[in-house]
Amino acid sequence: MKLSSLYESPLKVPYQEPNVSGILTNRLTVLLNGLSGNQRIIVVCVGTDRSTGDSLGPLIGTALGKFRSPHFELYGTLEEPVHAMNLEETLELLHRQNHNPFVIGIDACLGQVTSVGNIQVGIGPVRPGAGVNKQLPPVGDMHITGIVNVGGFMEYFVLQNTRLHLVMRMADVIAHSLFSAIMNCRTTSRPAAMPE
């Protein structure tokens, strides 16, 4: 993927920023515009609904699933989450079923107290489990992460005690922005469908 150096560094924006959806949609559109028309977009939302903080991915996946769009393939919802126990086989499956797909990895992460609530978009994979010292395979040609709480101490406890309101607001922003960007890149002058 060839991009100007302006877009090579990750974007980091608070979910409460005015026009956050517009900012994210613009960056995602730029990153996706470099794809060939027949390259399949696959979105992998990592996480589990058994932990509030770690439910960001499945919430985004469930929101994206409501669009029923033919323009991307989706793995990881509240009903069928992609997590530590099935991540490796999910990645093997999607690569077996798709030739040279473009994978977008989405996950929650922990960060500094001043970064909580920030959404990050960048080139390269997301590294699931890094915040809780798990060795899991990297996911994606590009990534979207949401910083849901503070890292550095008792990470499992922190993820369990993350506010659901924060996670759901971030999930709504990310799902809407990503769907808008995919529609921008995959359709011409056709209005985006609204979820049911």
Question: The domain that contains 127 carries what CATH number?
Answer: 3.40.50.1450
81: left (phi over 0), alpha (psi -120 to 50) or beta: beta
Q: What is the pLDDT of residue 131?
A: 60
Structure tokens at 110: 């922990």
Residue 74 lies in a domain: yes
**Which structural domain, as residue segments, surrounds residue 126?**
13-178
Tens of pLDDT, residues 107-132: 999 999 999 999 999 999 999 876 66
14 token code pair: 């608070």
What confidence score (pLDDT) does residue 153 get? 76
**Secondary structure percentages of the chain, helix, strand, coil, to 5:** 40, 20, 40
- Report the distance separating Cα 24 and Cα 174, nearest Å: 8
Residue 185 forms part of a structural domain: no
pLDDT value of position 161: 86
Whether the pTM exceeds 0.85: the reply is yes
How much is the pLDDT for 7? Answer: 64
